[in-house]
Amino acid sequence: MSILSSNKRITNIIFNDHSIRYVEVRQQKPPVPLKWGEKLLPSGIIQEGKIVDQVTLSMILEECIDDWKIKRRKVRFLVPDPLVMIRKVKVPDEVRPDELNGYLYLELGTSIHLPYEEPVFETVLLPKKGEQREALLFAAPQQHVMEYAQLLSGLKLKPMAADISPLALYRLYHQTDLANKDERLLMIQFDLDRVFICIFEQQYPIFMHHFPIQFRLEDWDIKVTRSGAHRFQYNGEAAELHSQLEDFYKEVSKLMDFYRYSLYQGNQQITKVLLNGDHPKLQIILQEMQQRFEIPTHTIDASQWAAGKTSLFPHSHFLALGLGLKEV
């Protein structure tokens, strides 16, 4: 992870179905968030990570640019989770690392099938195990990724890098010194309207899974905190929220079993869980998981980074902070 000088003033922006967030970061260890903000989105502007109402989103983002004073900035952004897929693919021995992208591009549509015709993708060659060579393929539909890049550039921002949430969060996790090279990590991003899960082996993301959860804005009272984030207080049916959380715990248990028995025939299992997200009940979810599962479950603690203003840094902005650690 490179250290960027603070005068480069790069802004890190996160889009999801219910908000736009930004963070400016001083890259050091530990990282220091300098400025941050959040704007809630009306329902239906972004759905399943896809921009539905480009005109309204552009107007809202333009207001954010003025309010946050980030005109003409260089920006990084995350490709929304529902658009992203990770696939492990076999690679012939004769393919050199510098030929990997070209080889996989030629294989798309023949030996490698993706659910969209025109992807944008990145590849990483995995450490060789025995005679088998494998690579990770990170892919997303080009059309929808370019819509975000064009949205930013159309408002005179300068998109210079895109990333995906598991890599952004893992960078932040790695900075906390909790990461262990040999662990098998189940990373969970639990947001207001969606859960995203990624499994890491030896610091590589090898499996992704996400699913929506029911979210109705009218079920929540919203207040703005001193840190600039939004505090959600649930006012809906308690039994309904309880049922949602129970479904989540069952899904996590099934994924752990799938990893242990389907992928490794009982010979390997998840060794650690990392929980993050913007869900208002995140601490309750953490405590419940620690009681239900024998596997150590952690969350990232912002208070270890610095005193003063940083201690107010909201949990909801951790992804944007991790994005700020990306090399450019």
Query: At residue 229, does pLDDT exceed 90?
Result: no
Residue 8: both structure tokens together? 């480069």
Q: List, in sequence order, every residue forming a beta bridge with 220; answer none if it has no partner.
A: 234
Mean pLDDT for 130-145 is 90
Q: Which amino acid is present at 317?
A: H
What is residue 1's predicted lDDT score, i.e. its pLDDT?
30
Going from the N-terminus, what domains does the chain have, and what CATH number goes with each?
Answer: 6-323 (3.30.420.380)
47 pLDDT above the threshold of 90: yes
Give the three-class secondary structure for 319. Answer: helix
Q: Reduced to 3 states, what is the DSSP secondary structure of residue 299?
A: coil
**How far is the CA of 43 from the CAs of 18, 149, 200, 244, 253, in angstroms?**
7, 22, 33, 20, 31
Residue-wise pLDDT for 21-46, tens only, equals: 999 998 877 788 889 999 999 999 99
Q: What is the mean pLDDT of residues 183-188?
A: 96
- What pLDDT shows up at residue 5? 38
Give 117's pLDDT tier (boundaries 50, 70, 90): confident
Tell me the C-alpha distance between 116 and 142, whole Å.
9
Contact status, residue 231 vs residue 222, Cβ threshold 8 Å: yes
If one counts every other C-beta atom within 10 angstroms of the C-beta of residue 8, the result is: 10
State the average pLDDT for the chain. Answer: 89
Q: Give the pLDDT of residue 81.
A: 93
pLDDT band for 328, please (50, 70, 90 cuts).
Answer: low
- Asked if 162 and 326 count as a contact pair (C-beta separation under 8 A), the reply is no
In this structure, the dihedral spanned by the alpha carbons of residues 106, 112, 115 and 116, taken in order and rounded to 10 degrees, is 0
196 bridge partner residues: 189, 210
Residues 278 and 190: their CA atoms lie apart, in Å, by 7
* Residue pair 20/64 in contact by the 8 Å Cβ criterion: yes
111 or 323: which carries more pLDDT confidence?
323
Q: What is the pLDDT of residue 93?
A: 86
User: Phi, psi at residue 233, to the nearest 5°?
Assistant: -115, 120
Whether 232 has a pLDDT exceeding 80, the answer reads yes
Question: Tell me: the pLDDT tens digits for 146-158?
Answer: 999 999 999 999 9
Task: Report the distance separating Cα 214 and Cα 319, nearest Å.
Answer: 22
What pLDDT score does 2 carry?
A: 35
Whether pLDDT at 265 is above 50: yes
Cβ of 146: how many Cβ atoms within 10 Å?
14
Query: The whole model's pTM is what?
Result: 0.91
Q: What percent of the chain has pLDDT over 70?
A: 94
Q: Is the peptide bond before 82 cis (omega within 30 degrees of 0)?
A: no
Determine the average pLDDT of the residues in 202-213: 92
At 252, list the tokens.
Answer: 């996590």
Phi, psi of 308 (to 5 degrees): 75, -135
What is d(CA 18, CA 11) in angstroms, rounded to the nearest whole number? Answer: 20
Q: Give 52-87 pLDDT, tens digit per residue.
A: 999 999 999 999 999 999 999 999 999 999 999 999
Eight-class DSSP state of 126:
P
Edge-to-edge strand ranges of the sheet holding 194-201: 204-212, 194-201, 184-190, 272-276, 297-298
Instruction: For residue 55, count CB atoms less than 10 angstroms from its CB and return exposed for 0-12, middle for 13-18, buried for 19 or more.
Output: exposed
Which of 99-103, 141-145, 175-179, 283-287 has the least mean pLDDT? 175-179
